[in-house]
């Protein structure tokens, strides 16, 4: 397979654009435009994977139109009627050559059942890690980015032991679990349920029309209309192991971070921070956020 080395800005590290669903695709297109920019701009070759959705034609049309309106000339439909197709070597070569790969919403379990562990999955990782491609996903496509993926279940008002299950995700980020439509669907209780039972995972809730933009090895940024919420249960005191299924765990000292659009944090100080610092100043990530930024920006080699 011939490697295609993109020459767009910053692309050498590889980016993730992790979107909380319902991103604007008709007007400002702020998030989709950023995804295109990080994929190489008008010269990008963008693959659209609609496998999460039960209405893939509608999803394809939406993003084909939006990306072309932004100016992308090469938008490629990755149609996956079955898992065998995701193991088609010719398809994998096409996706491997793309500079941007977009995963639509739908059901992350469906997406993983279709592509998890296939040649297509490998091609996506290679594109990101060896060629610095940009991987974007919205809603189900965002949750699917994690190694441990929020798969199923809900906790409406309070955390509820055993009510939410994890599955094996695509693993573009590790040691985090991502939920989407976060503030709009009041999903803190669901995220706390996961974190209570899996304190190893940092919980990340992304609002609608909001993206966590990750430059691997460098830093993160929040763009769009809402916020990214991070819950860190690593030092909490909890009785979750002792209570019955269905019970509400006692949680003491969960750390919560709210990062509105405009927030940005660099591992080594190279990103401006529009909120707290004067123009032109640089900063490093505050200590309470450091592991979160490290986890999502971590550059791992192909396994």
Say whether residue 159 binds a copy of itself (CB under 8 A).
Answer: yes
Comparing CA positions, the residue from 125, 291, 137 lying closest to residue 212 is: 137
Minimum distance between the CB of residue 154 and a copy of itself, rounded to whole angstroms?
14
Say whether residue 101 binds a copy of itself (CB under 8 A).
Answer: no
- Quick check: 94 and 35 in contact, CB under 8 A? no
Say whether residue 242 binds a copy of itself (CB under 8 A).
Answer: yes
Comparing CA positions, the residue from 251, 272, 134 lying closest to residue 189 is: 251
Minimum distance between the CB of residue 276 and a copy of itself, rounded to whole angstroms?
5
Interaction pattern, residues 52-91, with a copy of itself; x per rule: CB under 8 A: ----------------------------------------
Segment lying near a copy of itself (by CB under 8 A), choices 53-61, 71-79, 108-116, 153-161:
153-161
Say whether residue 275 binds a copy of itself (CB under 8 A).
Answer: yes
Say whether residue 248 binds a copy of itself (CB under 8 A).
Answer: yes
- Quick one: CA dihedral 246, 248, 254, 258, positive or negative? positive
- Quick check: 48 and 78 in contact, CB under 8 A? yes
Say whether residue 32 binds a copy of itself (CB under 8 A).
Answer: no
Among 94, 257, 283, 298, binds a copy of itself (CB under 8 A): 257
Say whether residue 283 binds a copy of itself (CB under 8 A).
Answer: no
Which positions ≥6 away from 92 have C-beta within 8 Å?
119, 120, 122, 123
Among 98, 188, 194, 266, binds a copy of itself (CB under 8 A): 188
* Rounded alpha-carbon distances, angstroms, from residue 74 to 36, 153, 183: 11, 38, 34
Minimum distance between the CB of residue 23 and a copy of itself, rounded to whole angstroms?
16
- Quick check: 97 and 4 in contact, CB under 8 A? yes
The conformation of residue 116, written as its DSSP 8-state character, comes to T
Query: Of 126 and 189, which has the nearer Cβ to a copy of itself?
Result: 189
> Structure tokens of 141?
């496509």
Give catalytic residue positions: 139, 181, 208
Say whether residue 281 binds a copy of itself (CB under 8 A).
Answer: no
Minimum distance between the CB of residue 38 and a copy of itself, rounded to whole angstroms?
23
Minimum distance between the CB of residue 278 and a copy of itself, rounded to whole angstroms?
10
Q: Which residues bind a copy of itself (CB under 8 A)?
A: 157-159, 183-184, 186, 188-189, 192, 207, 226-227, 231, 237, 239, 242-243, 247-263, 275-276, 286, 288-289
């Amino acid at each position: 397979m011939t490697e295609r080395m993109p020459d767009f800005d910053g692309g050498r590290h590889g980016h993730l654009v992790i979107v909380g669903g319902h991103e604007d695709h008709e007007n400002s297109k702020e998030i989709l435009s950023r995804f295109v920019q990080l994929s190489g701009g008008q010269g990008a070759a963008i693959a659209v994977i609609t496998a999460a959705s039960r209405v893939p034609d509608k999803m394809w049309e939406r993003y084909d139109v939006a990306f072309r309106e932004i100016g992308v000339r090469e938008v490629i439909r990755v149609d996956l009627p079955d898992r065998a197709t995701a193991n088609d070597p010719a398809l994998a070569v096409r996706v491997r050559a793309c500079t941007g790969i977009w995963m639509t919403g739908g059901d992350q379990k469906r997406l993983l059942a279709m592509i998890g562990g296939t040649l297509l999955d490998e091609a996506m990782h290679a594109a990101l890690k060896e060629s610095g491609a940009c991987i974007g996903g919205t809603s189900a496509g965002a949750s699917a980015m994690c190694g441990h993926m929020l798969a199923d279940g809900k906790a409406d008002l309070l955390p509820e032991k055993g009510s939410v299950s994890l599955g094996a995700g695509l693993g573009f980020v590790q040691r985090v679990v991502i939920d989407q439509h976060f503030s709009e669907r009041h999903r803190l209780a669901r995220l706390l349920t996961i974190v209570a039972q899996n304190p190893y995972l940092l919980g990340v809730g992304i609002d609608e029309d909001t993206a966590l933009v990750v430059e691997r090895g460098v830093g993160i940024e929040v763009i769009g209309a809402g916020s990214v919420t991070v819950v860190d249960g690593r030092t909490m005191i909890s009785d979750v192991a002792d209570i019955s299924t269905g019970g509400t765990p006692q949680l003491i000292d969960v750390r919560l971070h709210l990062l509105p659009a405009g927030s940005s944090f660099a591992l080594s100080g190279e990103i401006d921070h529009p909120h707290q610092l004067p123009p032109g100043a640089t900063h490093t990530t505050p200590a309470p956020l450091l592991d979160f930024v490290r986890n999502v920006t971590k550059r791992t080699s192909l396994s």
